[in-house]
Amino acid sequence: MTCIVGLVDNGTVWLGGDSAGVAGLDISLRSDPKVFRNGNFLIGFTSSFRMGQLLRFRLAPPPRRPDQDLFRYMVCDFVEAVRVCLKDGGFAHRSNDVETGGFFLVGTEGRLFSIQDDYQVSEFNRGYHAIGCGAAYAMGSLYTTKGEDPEGRVRKALETAEHFSGGVRAPFRIESLSMADSQARPVLVA
């Protein structure tokens, strides 16, 4: 239960997330953020706070070679680092020889990626995406606010999701990462 909203605008990636922690019918407001920076990456997660903590504090993405395509890097190198991080941190699940993780958005170098629980990497040509139980509401809001201020669009999307979904709650955290900020090398996080 959550809503994470991602938007690309003029080389800057915007991510916003809510503060709801949901267990069954119980909801609490968490102080640990669902949206954060890890080196040259902006990450917003759903699925599990444990997964988010591992992505924030233990994930050490390898540097990307200057000649390496960014999408290929995300599919091969970034996701492999995520798999190892989640497995070593006790979060990855294995059933019938299939390993699964969780859902999160990643912004870097002016682009937005969605990582699925099967470690599939998606990039959408529309310039925005949302995940979590409030995703459909947020996506509708993002569609209808084209041309508006990017931070305002992310905020409206989260507010819309909160209005219609019982699993989304303010306060909202919104962060941005410009293309210049995310191209600094190397990407090393201890």
Sign of torsion, CA 121 75 98 20?
negative
Query: 188 lies in a domain?
Result: no
Query: 77 lies in a domain?
Result: yes
Residue 41 has pLDDT above 90, yes or no: yes
User: 132 to each of 2, 3, 5, 44, 102, how far by Cα in Å?
Assistant: 5, 5, 9, 10, 11
Query: What is the reported pLDDT for 78?
Result: 98
Could you report the per-residue pLDDT of 112-169, keeping only the tens digit for each? 999 999 999 999 999 999 999 999 999 999 999 999 999 999 999 999 999 999 999 9
Query: 185 lies in a domain?
Result: no
Query: 190 lies in a domain?
Result: no
In whole angstroms, what is the distance from residue 17 CA to residue 29 CA? 12
In whole angstroms, what is the distance from residue 6 CA to residue 124 CA? 11
The two three-digit tokens of residue 114, written as one number: 């969605």
Q: How many domains does the chain have?
A: 1
Query: 28 lies in a domain?
Result: yes
Per the listing, tokens 């699940």 go with 93
Query: 45 lies in a domain?
Result: yes
Please give the DSSP secondary-structure letter assigned to residue 18: -
Quick one: pLDDT band at residue 186, thresholds 50, 70, 90? very low
Could you report the per-residue pLDDT of 24-33, keeping only the tens digit for each? 889 999 999 9
Average predicted confidence (pLDDT) for the chain: 93
In whole angstroms, what is the distance from residue 19 CA to residue 39 CA? 22
User: 99 to each of 80, 102, 118, 143, how far by Cα in Å?
Assistant: 12, 10, 7, 34
Query: What is the reported pLDDT for 94?
Result: 87
Q: CA Rg, the chain, in Å?
A: 16
CATH classification at residue 120 = 3.60.20.10
The two three-digit tokens of residue 142, written as one number: 């993002």
- Tell me the residue range of the domain where 68 lies: 4-180
Query: What is the reported pLDDT for 119?
Result: 96
Query: 157 lies in a domain?
Result: yes
Fill in the amino acid letter for 56: R
Query: 17 lies in a domain?
Result: yes
Residue 59 has pLDDT above 70, yes or no: yes
